Amino acid sequence: MTVSELAALVGGQLASGADGSAKISGAAALAEALPGEVTFFGNPKYLPKLRTSRATAALVPLAFAGEVPAMCIRCENPTLAFSKVVEKFAPPPVFFAPGVHPTAVVAPDVKLGAGASIQPHAVIEAGVSIGDGTVIGAHSYVGHESQIGAGCLIHPRVTIGFRCKIGSRVILHSGVVLGGDGFGFELQNGRHVKIPQIGIVQVDDDVEIGANSTVDRARFGRTWIGEGTKIDNLVQIGHNVVIGKHCILCAFVGVSGSTKLGDYVTLAGQVGTVGHVEIGDGVIVGAQSGVSKVLAAKQTYMGSPAVPAREWKEQVAQIHSLHKLRARVAHLEQLLGEREKSIPSGT
């Protein structure tokens, strides 16, 4: 397509004087882009790379006014606009033919929606219902009486335990396990006695869960993932956890049992929580932080135990200056020692 067509595609504004007839044949990141390709600039720290990029065109923020070699297309959100461009140049998506593969094992009473696709060696147990257009990937397992909505994509090797409830347009990547037993034991007579985990997992509409993440079933009631929440790879969600709408959980997060997250919460990589705490709406918890108590809404927290970000930064600055304090104290001790020596005895 031409640069002018590209600008129209993303609803952007082509810089005045730019050659709108120039051809664009692909998309690439700033450092890799070649002539004839479009790139994007969404983070100020990458300005040096934009200045040296060989791309023919660049998607930039509306307020950008710098002089760069690429023809600038100003748009409200260059990152999202670039995603639209990538889709335009990408190969067509993989299509899964409707129907049940001959090697799949599907119980007689399973309800399959129109256009649903059951891939090779999948196992669908009795009492399951699967919505219109949903794909169940190869070697996946759907347990008894589970419900899966329309337009879902269940990638290969996903395990969905009995009686789980999954909404529409949910994406579960390979290795996801929904409905494994919660980690519940009581010490009795010197032995760990298993507490039955008889609840369910409920995943609402438009949730995406990354590869090899696990969501434990509730001891009773439900473990609940709210609408629009996105969960990264290798995340552990304990039993009876409630996660609100449109949350972000990054890789290696661990949420202990009965913890409650509000809406629009962000847990950065390797955040861990103790059980039975609440995290308010809009909270951001920085990477590798440990949540040990209730976190008030709409604040940013960091550290272990997690504290408000400003307090954590002050603590880090103080720790980094301890060696200076130690040197000052040693110097003062030396001065006091010399002074004591210089004072005559009996004075």
Asked if residue 100 lies in contact with residue 81, where contact means CB atoms within 8 angstroms, the answer is: no
Three-class SS string for the chain? CEHHHHHHHHCCEECCCCCCCCECCEECCCCCCCCCEEEECCCHHHHHHHHHCCCCEEEEECCCCCCCCCEEEEECCHHHHHHHHHHHHCCCCCCCCCEECCCCEECCCCEECCCCEECCCCEECCCCEECCCCEECCCCEECCCCEECCCCEECCCCEECCCCEECCCCEECCCCEEEECCCCEEEECCEEEECCCCCEEEECCCCEECCCCEEECCCCCEEEECCCCEECCCCEECCCCEECCCCEECCCCEECCCCEECCCCEECCCCEECCCCEECCCCEECCCCEECCCECCCCEEECCCCEEHHHHHHHHHHHHCHHHHHHHHHHHHHHHHHHHHHCCCCC
For strands 307-308 and 300-302, give the pairing: antiparallel
Comparing CA positions, the residue from 318, 252, 316 lying closest to residue 308 is 316
Catalytic residue among 121, 139, 192, 239: 239
Task: List beta partners, residue 185.
Answer: 194
Q: Looking up tokens 């955040």, which residue turns up?
A: 271
139 is catalytic: no
Cα(187)–Cα(172) distance, rounded to whole angstroms?
35
Catalytic residue annotation: 239
